[in-house]
Structure 1
C-alpha cells in the first residue's frame, strides 16, 4: 500500500478501518493515516494513537540485515515537509523510524511499522520469539518476553497444493464436503487411507521421475552437452527408490550442500542396501552472489563424486516443477541454519500430499514436529559457531537417514509398502492438515482485524482521554519510584511483602492505567 495506496483506496470510496502492513514500503501508510487524522483536527500524539489502533504489522525476516533501513538524508529528501502535514517536527517524524547503527542513525521501515501499529507478529512461534529478541531495543523497559510481538504461523491453501487425484481420493475417504473445513481436526479421518492412497503416491513418484528426466534432457541439450550425456539424462533416478526433494530459494542459510559436509559418510549411505535419490531445484536471487555460488557448488560436488544418476539439480525452477516435487517426493528435506527460517511453507504443501518432512527444528516445523509425524534433524540448540552447527547438523542428518528414514521406508509388507511409514504419513496428515491450513491462518488474522476495528472505534470515542493522557505522560515519567522490602532474607515458600511509592502526584488521567508488577530474578 504505502501513501499512494491509502490515497487510491480513498479515491475509490473505500474506507477500511484496519490496515495490515508487511515489511518494507507499506509502512509509509502509517504516515499517511496520521496525516489524514491531523487534517481532521487531531493533534499529532492523538492522531498517532488513532492510527496505531487500526494497524497490524507482520514481520517475515528473522535477521536484522533483512529489514530495510535508509539514510536520514534520503528520507528527508523525499519526505521533507511531510512532518508538517502530520503536525509534528523533523525530530518527531524521524523518531518514528529511528534506528541506531554502529555507523550512525538510519530510518528503519520495520521500526516505523512497529511504532505505527498496535498489533504485531511473526509468522511462526519460534519467529515470534526471535522477533521479540530482535526488536527488544524498542521497548527497553520491558522484559524480552513482554515485547508486544506475537505470532500467527503461516498456512497453505489445501485445495491449491493438493494433487487432483488425492483431492478425489480424500473426498472418498473423508467425505465429499471435507474441503469446506480443512482447519477442523475432525475432517482428517486418515485411518481410511491405505492401499489406494499408496498406489496414487507411487504413480506421483513415477510422474516426478519422468518430469525430472524430461527437464534434465532439455537442460543438457540447451547447454550443448554430448549425445551420451543426453541418453544418460533419460535414465536418471529410479521410480521405485526413496526420493527426497529439496526445492526452495538458494540462500546460504538454507544450506543445500549440508549433505556433502562429510562426503565419505554420504557415499556410504548412497552405496548401502537401501536405494535413495535426491532432486534439488530452486533459484538464487539475481543479486545474491553467495547464493548463486552455493548452487554452483552443489552441482560441482554431485559431479565430483559421480552421483549424477542419484542426485539431480534442475534449472528453470517454476511453480509447475514445485508442485510436481511436493506431489511426488517421499521425503521433503529442509536444512536451514536455525533460527533463520521464519516459517517456510513448502513442507506444509508436501505433507498434504503424504510426503514426510525431514527438517531442522526451525520455522513452522519447530511447532509441528511431535516425534511421530516426520523426522527432525538435530535438536533445538543454536550454536554460536556456524561451522560447529553445520558439522553437528550434518551428522544428525546422516544418523536420521541411516537409522530412521531408510529402514522405515523399506520395511515393506506383502501389500508392497511399509505399514510403519504409512502410519507416520497418517500422523503427519492428521497434525499438519488442519493446523497449518490457510483457513486457520485467515481465521486468526480475522480475529486480530476485529480487535483492531474495536480498538479503532474505541479510540475515536475517547479522543479527549487520549489527548489528556499524552499531555500527562511527561509529568509521570519524571516521578521517582521507591520500593521498600522489609528485612533482607525471605525463605523459599514464605510470602514476600513489599511497598512501592511514587514520590509525587500521579496525574488523575493516568491512575486507571497504573499497574505494579514484581519481577523476581535469581542473582
Structure 2
C-alpha cells in the first residue's frame, strides 16, 4: 500500500482543490494508479474557497475572487475525527472522500479542520489554497502531514511507502520518527519527490515558530535541523527519505546542486494521463486505427497509419471549438484558418509568459508577412506575485496596441484558466509555446498534453523538452541546447531573437505552404510524445525504480 500525500489535487474542473501544475499532475498520477490497479490511498486538504477565481480588469489588472464550489457533489463526509496538535492546543480534523471513484484500488481523502469545536484560526485553514505564508501555511502543513498520518492510522491503513509530493507534507516524518524511533526505518518507508528548482517552492519557517507549534514533539531536536534560523521542510524531507527524485533528467542535475548532501538524487520524468487529455475527436480516430491505445499508450507510435487528411480534419474541428471559445469570451475575432499559438500556464516571471511580446513590432512584421498569427494566452498569477501580475498587464496592453496597428496579429487572454479550459487549449492550438528561463522549468507537462494531440511544441530547451524534443521533427527548441550539467541561466535577448527567427523562417512557412509536412510533424509529435510522456509510464517507473527498492 502506497500513501500519496500532496497539498493539492486536480481531479475535475469544478472541484476547486488545485491551483495548477502540481495538482493536475497529482490527478493524472492517481488516475494512472487506478488504471493500473496499484493499491494507493491519497491524502490532501479540502479548500472551501479554492485557489482563486480570476477576472481581468479594463487596465489588465488581475482581480481575485473565492472559488466557491459544492463539495457534496463530489465528496462524502466520513464519520471520523482525529486529533491534531497545534502548540498547546489539540484540535480535531475530519475528512471527506472522493466519491465518483477511480477504481477499487484507490481512495482519496480530503482533510478538514473546519469544525465547530475548533478555534477560528484552525477552522480557517481549509478556506484557501496557497493564500498566505507564515503561521497559516505552517499550520496547513501540520494538518496535511501530521493530520494525514493520523487519519490513515484511524482508518486502519499501514502503508509500506509514504510518497511526499513536494515538502508540504514533510511533517508526517515527525510522526514516523516518533513511532518507529529509528531514522533508518523511517528512511526505508519514505520517498520525497521535489518538483521545483525555484526557492519559493521550498517552504521555510522560523525555527522558533516550528518549536512553538510542535512543542508536544519533544523527541525532535529542531536545533539539529535548523538552517539560517529556519527549518527548511524540503531539507527535512531530503534528510529522512530513503529515496529522493527529481521530475526530469535535467531537473535531477539541478536538484543535486540545490541539495548537495544527496548526490544520489534520481529522477522520474513526469507524464500526463493520456486518456484524460487527448481530445474526444481524436479518441474516435485512435479507437478505429490504433485499437488498444488507451490501455497501452505505446501503441500511439502507430499514428502514422492514420490517413493524414483525417487527422488534419479532426484537428480543424477541435481548433474550431477553441476559436469559438476565444470569440465568445473576448473581442479578439479569431479565425480558424490562421496559425494559432497557445501560451497557457501559471503566470510568473521565471516562466517569461510574455517573451514573444518582447519586441512587439518585430512580431507585427512577421504577422504582416503571412496570412496572420493569433496568440491565445491563459493563466493565473499568485495574489502576491506582483511580477506575474505585471506580465498579465503587459499582455493586455499588447493586445490593445496591436489592435490599433494591424489585423494580421491578434492577441486574446482567456480568464480563469482551469482543467476544462486547458483541455480545449492544449488540443485546439496549432503550436504550443513554452518559454521558461533555463534551468528553472523542473519538467512542465502542458506541452506533453499538447503534443499527444498533434499540437507542435515550440519550447525552451529545459525540463521534459530537453528529453523529448527533436528539432524540426516533433517541434522546435528556443535558444541554445545546453548539456545536462549546464545550469547557467538562459539569456532573454538571445532566446527572443531565436524565437522570432524560427517563427518567421520555419514555423510560419511550413504551416501556410507545406500542409503535408505540417501533418507529418503532427504525427511525429503524437508518435514520439504519447508513448513515453504519459503517467502510465511514470507510475510504472516509480514502482519498479523506487517503491520496490524501498521495500527491500
Band of TM-score, shorter chain:
0.7 to 0.9
Partners of 2:277 and 2:423 within 8 A in 1: yes
Correspondence for 2:360: 263
Change (3 A) 1:19 1:61: same
Aligned pair partner of 2:509 in 392, 398, 407: 407
Correspondence for 2:442: 342
Structure 1 unaligned segments of length 5 or more: list them: 39-46, 140-146, 217-232, 413-417, 455-523
Correspondence for 1:317: 417
Correspondence for 1:179: 294
Correspondence for 2:3: none
Partners of 2:439 and 2:489 within 8 A in 1: no
Q: Does 1:129 align with 2:270?
A: no
Would you tell me which structure has more helix in proportion to its own residues? 1
Correspondence for 1:398: 500
Partners of 1:23 and 1:109 within 8 A in 2: no
Partners of 1:74 and 1:193 lie apart in 2 by 63
Partners of 2:512 and 2:402 lie apart in 1 by 25
Partners of 1:94 and 1:124 lie apart in 2 by 33
Partners of 1:174 and 1:187 within 8 A in 2: no
Cα deviation per residue 1:321-365 (whole Å; 9 max; x = unaligned)?
211111110000101111111111111111111100000011111
Cα deviation per residue 1:461-481 (whole Å; 9 max; x = unaligned)?
xxxxxxxxxxxxxxxxxxxxx
Aligned pair partner of 1:55 in 181, 186, 190: 190
Partners of 2:439 and 2:488 within 8 A in 1: no
Partners of 1:188 and 1:434 within 8 A in 2: no
Correspondence for 1:164: 280
Cα deviation per residue 1:20-67 (whole Å; 9 max; x = unaligned)?
0122331111121111113xxxxxxxx110010111000011123321
Q: Does 1:374 align with 2:475?
A: yes
Would you tell me which structure has more strand in proportion to its own residues? 2
Change (3 A) 1:61 1:334: same
Larger radius of gyration between Structure 1 and Structure 2:
1
Q: Does 1:14 align with 2:161?
A: no
What is the aligned-residue RMSD (CA, Å)? 1.8
Partners of 1:329 and 1:355 within 8 A in 2: yes
Partners of 1:98 and 1:61 lie apart in 2 by 21
Q: Does 1:420 align with 2:522?
A: no
Instruction: Describe how 1:56-455 pairs up with structure 2 within 5 A.
Output: 56-84=191-219, 90=221, 93-95=222-224, 97-99=225-227, 104-136=228-260, 138=261, 147-175=263-291, 177-182=292-297, 184=298, 188-216=302-330, 233=331, 236-306=333-403, 310-371=410-471, 372-381=473-482, 389-412=491-514, 418-447=515-544, 448-454=546-552
Between the two proteins, the alignment pairs up a number of residues equal to 401
Partners of 2:272 and 2:534 within 8 A in 1: yes
* Structure-2-length-normalised TM-score: 0.70
Compute the displacement of 1:178 (Å): 1.9
Specify the SS of the correspondent of 1:82.
coil
Partners of 1:188 and 1:429 within 8 A in 2: no
Compute the displacement of 1:397 (Å): 0.2
Compute the displacement of 1:263 (Å): 2.5
Partners of 1:162 and 1:349 within 8 A in 2: yes
Identify the range of structure 1 (342-351 vs 269-278) with the bigger mean alpha-carbon deviation: 269-278
